[in-house]
């Protein structure tokens, strides 16, 4: 169980977004007050106060939250409908169910499992699915179920169907921890939950195999990583987090890969944490991260 669970008991997170207009903040805060709740944090952003888009994240505490949720949601629907706003309300003490897909590289996978065990990620992990077995024992040592679903050849439909059987109805989002398979549009549509990916930021300059070798040959001075939501357009989904680190001429391609793996682990962990805490709002092909 996440260490967050007790600390976040009776805490709710309200996400509101839609067309910016006067009175939104007052309407939301007044609603929270009506339900005898106390605001813990409030973040908001408008991309243009004259006809732009408005985004807000409010965390509030309300004693016996579970008993009041239905009433609060009914009030939200009535209050925000005239403004044309979209909203969602989540109980912060309920960890999101996160499945992990991985291949042979285990640095991102093990980082997530380690942070989860330490209580740093407010998630539960019902399973890890991999197209290889190299990490099976490591995963099971964390007490997490491991499923091997081979995937080879051009036709991935059989493997994707097997993975869908495992995931459907059992997860709230999926993380690709260096899962070296391209997910089909059909798979993403049937899955129906957010998918978060991580890759080195050499794309598209160093596509294909051996990106760190190519980066070494070009004499790069910065390497980095990008975590984003997966969409039907390969590696072009809304970006959640990015980071870089400096490198120099004395480093080998192997040194670059090791340094890059460190950045990948950190970037993916932050993206997962922010998603799990409802800090990310998708807007078109970009994100607002509070």
Catalytic residue set: 235
Instruction: Name the nearest CA neighbour of 61 among 41, 43, 39.
Output: 39
**Cα torsion angle, 19, 50, 27, 29, sign:** positive
Count Cβ neighbours within 10 Å for each residue of 128-156 and write b for 16 or more, e otherwise.
bbbbbeebeeebeebebebbebebeeeeb
Q: How far apart are the first and last CA of the chain?
A: 25
Find how far residue 202's CA is from the centre of its chain: 21
Are 123 and 271 contacting, i.e. CB atoms less than 8 angstroms apart? no
Which residues fall within 8 angstroms of residue 21, CB to CB, at 6 or more apart? 54, 83
CA dihedral 284, 237, 57, 242 (to 10 degrees): -130
At 237 the three-state DSSP class reads coil
Which residues fall within 8 angstroms of residue 246, CB to CB, at 6 or more apart? 221, 222
Between the alpha carbon of residue 73 and those of residues 13, 81, 87, the distances in Å are 12, 12, 10
Six token digits for residue 68: 């009041």
């Amino acid at each position: 169980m996440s260490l967050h669970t007790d600390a976040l008991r009776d805490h709710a997170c309200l996400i509101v977004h839609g067309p910016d207009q006067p009175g939104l903040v007052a309407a939301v805060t007044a609603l929270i007050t009506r339900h005898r709740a106390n605001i813990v944090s409030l973040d908001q952003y408008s991309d243009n106060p004259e006809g732009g888009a408005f985004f807000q994240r409010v965390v509030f505490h309300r004693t016996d939250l579970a008993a009041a949720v239905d009433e609060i949601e009914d009030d939200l629907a009535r209050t925000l409908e005239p403004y044309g706003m979209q909203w969602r309300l989540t109980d912060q003490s309920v960890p999101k169910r996160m499945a992990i897909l991985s291949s042979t590289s285990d640095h991102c996978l093990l980082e997530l499992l380690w942070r989860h065990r330490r209580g740093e990620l407010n998630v539960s992990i019902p399973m890890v699915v991999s197209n290889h077995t190299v990490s099976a024992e490591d995963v099971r040592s964390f007490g997490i179920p491991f499923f091997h679903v081979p995937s080879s050849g051009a036709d991935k439909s059989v493997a994707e169907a097997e993975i869908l059987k495992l995931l459907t109805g059992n997860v709230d989002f999926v993380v690709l921890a260096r899962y070296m398979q391209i997910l089909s549009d059909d798979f993403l549509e049937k899955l129906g939950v957010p998918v978060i990916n991580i890759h080195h930021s050499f794309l598209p300059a160093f596509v294909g195999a051996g990106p760190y070798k190519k980066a070494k040959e070009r004499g790069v001075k910065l390497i980095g990583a990008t975590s984003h939501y997966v969409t039907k357009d390969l590696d072009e989904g809304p970006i959640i987090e990015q980071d870089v680190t400096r490198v120099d001429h004395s480093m080998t391609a192997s040194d670059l890969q090791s340094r890059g793996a460190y950045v990948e682990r950190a970037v993916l962990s932050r993206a997962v944490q922010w998603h799990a805490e409802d800090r990310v709002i998708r807007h078109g092909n970009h994100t607002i991260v509070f």
